[in-house]
Structure 1
Amino acid sequence: MVVVGYDGLELLDVASVTSCLDLANRLGATPAYDVRFATLSGAPARCDSGLALPAQVALSDVTGSVHTLIVSGGLGHKAAAADAGLLAQVRRLARRARRVASVCTGATVLAATGLLDGRRVTTHWHYADELAAAYPAVQVDAAPIFVRDDKVWTSGGVTAALDLALAFVEADHGAERARWVAMGLVTYLQRPGNQAQMSMFVRARRPEHDVVRRVVDHATAHPGADLCTARLASVAGVSERHLTRLLVEHAGQTPARMVRQIRLEAAATALVTTDEPVATIAKATGFRSGETLRQAFHAWFGISPTHYRSVHRGKA
């Protein structure tokens, strides 16, 4: 397993992969992962944070078979993608690798080699439009945590590297070992590639408007309560009409849509963190029945609650 670094890399992009694979080894993965961190010249790579990460080997010194080639991301991805020597070494190793991957903006480097032409890929959501504009032959999808297109795997931003590495462990050693690794890393849950990179709880800044923030916080804390517009207006101390105007202006959605989204994400979290029946989760998150939740879940996520639960637990 060769992890490619360069000046301006994101340390988490490297550590998420290497720590995951190391723990898989300690939990008995056979054959074990032999992970090497490589730079073009073998010199240390300067991370975005200012830390220096020593390389174990120069890329030109990597010979023989390569199981997986992983290109890290970071703020230095554009300079790396313009380095002819680095691109030549990545192409050389990719030809002999069984699996080629990028983490975050490392997709820019792979795109510059031509290895992503005609493929569906992902990258950090913030850089997705930029990648698509610079490399029109690449099919960029900003939504997923990671994407697998034949032997090429690409992941979203930063901690999505951990999801990618867990997917490697599952592909190589099975879902049960991957779950044990996830537990050992104390990661919240093992997310499948088709989960969106951003949930509603992190994709935008918390509303700055006091009334909107109070309403969102109340709904998030009490998804199973009465969250009709009249009740929310009462919580906020404003009229229903004024609340609707404020939510549209400051949160970009109506009260009903906001409540539906909050309840669905609360249900999704319960599905993968508890063993409660779907009907029980539906009641706890404000849906009239398990069937009502199923219909809403399918409309929002494109799959049933049961399928969502099985995929996120690595049992599909």
Structure 2
Amino acid sequence: MSKHTADFVTQGKRVLDIERAAIDDLYDSVNEHFSEACEIMLTCKGRVIVTGMGKSGHIGNKIAATLASTGTPAFFVHPGEASHGDLGMITSQDVVLAMSNSGETQEVLSIIPVIKRLGVPLISLTGNQNSTLARLADVHIIVAVSEEACPLGLAPTASTTASLVMGDALAVALLNARGFTADDFALSHPGGSLGRRLLLRVSDLMHQGERLPKVRQDDIISDALLEMSRKGLGMTAIVDDQDLLLGIFTDGDLRRILDQQIDIHHTPISSVMTARCTTVRPETLAAEALKIMEDKKINGLLVVNQQQTPVGAFNMHDLLRAGVI
């Protein structure tokens, strides 16, 4: 290890120590002011407008996105642009969350009079409780840090981390208060992999109709093997004359009967099938079906309707192709 490498490691760990301490110091800021801010945002009939300049603006952008994706309508307004027309996006039904480490950022302070004239509640996050922004706010949450991780004390580092964490605390507290669910989250993230995991149903990926492997209870084992080969799912459903599910036969079952030297050309499939097999309904979430398969250590599942008639089948490969795994 070179001297420079050792210095890199030392400095990196120093930064983590400083920023960890900054987060620890936030505990006292989660108090009655924090609760009041949450109550204002929870009862807001419009949207939460987040604003901030420079690095605070970057953090504000992320906080607005987190609020919006967890059930609190929100968006970011740049304070510089707000003075040149974007203030028109703020209505009397909204709440403004203004961020400034110093609490004296001119671009932010310049839009406060308009916010006040609109009667819009103002929540501020600053590192200085005696600052102008803190004093003008209806509710102020202190996010002060004892030192920045930057050794020059110039680049916002620990202070932006503290603001980001406080924003997450607000968003999650509101999420819980709203009873926001995984389904709600998925509806706002339909294009991402998480959305696919949360929204996808078994009916969206199962093989059905002519693609569903299925044989009758009195068919012989070799017929069942041909059906499994044609459909390529490594299993087949076994049904009675009313098309009700009696059991399943899988590749694993085949290996077991071969060890027993059973005559596959004369033995009915019903004598070697697995009865009372695990099934799911078409409306089952794909992620839930995956959990069932993992818990039971099986590679495929049959899908049945309310009458216990097989309507579909799928395996791990289908879940993989759908992005559930």
Normalised TM-score (structure 2): 0.30
Bigger Rg, which one: 2
